[in-house]
Structure 1
Amino acid sequence: MTKRLLHPAIQDGGSRTGSPSFAGSILACHCKTRPVKVKVSVAIAHNHACGCTKCWKPDNAAFSVVAVAPSEQVSVIENGDKLVVVDPSALIRRHACKECGVHMHGPVERDHAFKGLSFIHPELFEDGDWPRPTFAAFVSSIIEGGVDPSEMDGIRSDLRSVNLEPYDCLSPPLMDYLSTWTAKKSGVLR
């Protein structure tokens, strides 16, 4: 059995550290001519490997790498005419390039704890100094993408070997954030 590629940015020892002063950059799709460019004007947060089947992944990768930034700090600056929303009914409105298929940004616009955030793929930054992912989310979901369930123990081990704790949902702080938002919305918390 060949070893499955986690993701090119996390595969080899998890040595990416990035710069603690990283404050945003320009994302570019994979098109050689007229690439879509999206400016992220702030530091990214909650950078993680994601196993869900909705996120864009590089070829042969089991995981995507995803982070968030406030939507008001994310703007399309070039060739926005090439963008299309992948699934208008989804919570995350992923805008992808019609030509190369790369997801450029995904704002959350509905009433949700993540409303006002945009999901982005930091490996698309033209500046490679973005911070490393800190956890892996929706790990079991890679089975839905075709990974044999018998590989899961090895994949979780591989994730831990690159310092990414695997979760089958989100990290504990993000789950706390979601639960707090829900409790405040229902009136249980103020």
Structure 2
Amino acid sequence: MSEGFRATGGCRCNTDPVRYEYTKEPFEVHYCLCTDCTDISGGALALIAVVERDTFRITQNENKIKNFDTKETAHRKFCGDCGCHMFLEVDPFPDHVLVHVPTLDRDSEVGGEPDRWVFTDSKLELVQLPDDGLPRHPGWANSPIAS
């Protein structure tokens, strides 16, 4: 871990946005292809930084955050004004917060590079995974967070 590490991000509101930070490099960063992440983001994949809960905090406008349970165990956090989905909490991993990397400030460090593809069995048929040498897993099973 780098001394003084700090990643910052927030919602898309032009004025008075929700802001968050995490102050330790992520436990892992991965590409997620699960239907829950892709459906909610409207994209072919989600880029997720898994950060330790005790290093993550809302720094501004926590009162604007709304919850939407996309599954019984997946609690997604959105800005109630602009609708930006910033992070989620997953019951099986109570010590971690899963941050959607695109909501980080563009000049903020993520704190790590993606090291795996997860939920490849859920990949959209049209999506072609790059030949990047990263391991591919049908679900969480081979992710350290699932251990």
Same fold (TM over 0.5): yes
Give the equivalent residue in structure 1 for 2:122. 141
Give the equivalent residue in structure 2 for 1:3. none
Question: What stretches of structure 2 of length at least 5 have no aligned partner?
Answer: none
User: Identity across aligned pairs (percent)?
Assistant: 22
Give the equivalent residue in structure 2 for 1:92. 74
Equivalent AA in structure 1 for residue 108 of structure 2: G
Q: More strand per residue: 1 or 2?
A: 2
Q: Which aligned runs of 4 or more in structure 1 are off by greater than 4 angstroms?
A: none
Contact preservation (8 Å) 1:134, 1:163 = no
Q: CA deviation at 1:98?
A: 2.1
SS in 2 for 1:128: coil
Contact preservation (8 Å) 1:23, 1:44 = no
Contact preservation (8 Å) 1:38, 1:104 = no
Q: CA deviation at 1:119?
A: 0.9
Give the equivalent residue in structure 2 for 1:170. 140
Q: Of residues 90, 111, 120 in structure 1, which corresponds to 2:99?
A: 120
Task: Give the whole-Å Cα distance in 2 for the aligned partners of 1:38 and 1:90.
Answer: 25
TM-score, scaled relative to structure 2: 0.79
Task: Give the whole-Å Cα distance in 2 for the aligned partners of 1:79 and 1:106.
Answer: 17
Q: CA RMSD in A?
A: 2.6
TM-score, scaled relative to structure 1: 0.63
Task: Give the whole-Å Cα distance in 1 for the aligned partners of 2:94 and 2:53.
Answer: 9
CA gap of 1:163–1:82, structure 2 versus 1, over 3 A, is farther
Q: CA deviation at 1:135?
A: 0.8
Task: Give the whole-Å Cα distance in 1 for the aligned partners of 2:97 and 2:146.
Answer: 19
Equivalent AA in structure 2 for residue 128 of structure 1: S
Q: CA deviation at 1:171?
A: 6.0
**Counterparts of residues 1-190 of structure 1 (less than 5 Å):** 21=2, 23-55=5-37, 56-57=40-41, 61-87=43-69, 90-108=72-90, 110=91, 112=92, 114-126=93-105, 127-130=107-110, 131-142=112-123, 147=124, 149=125, 151=126, 155-156=128-129, 158=130, 161-170=131-140, 172-174=142-144, 177=147
Q: CA deviation at 1:26?
A: 1.2
Contact preservation (8 Å) 2:21, 2:59 = yes
Question: What stretches of structure 1 of length at least 5 have no aligned partner?
Answer: 1-19, 178-190
Would you say how many aligned residue pairs link Structure 1 and Structure 2? Answer: 142
**Who wins on radius of gyration, i.e. which is larger?**
1
Q: More helix per residue: 1 or 2?
A: 1
Equivalent AA in structure 1 for residue 117 of structure 2: A
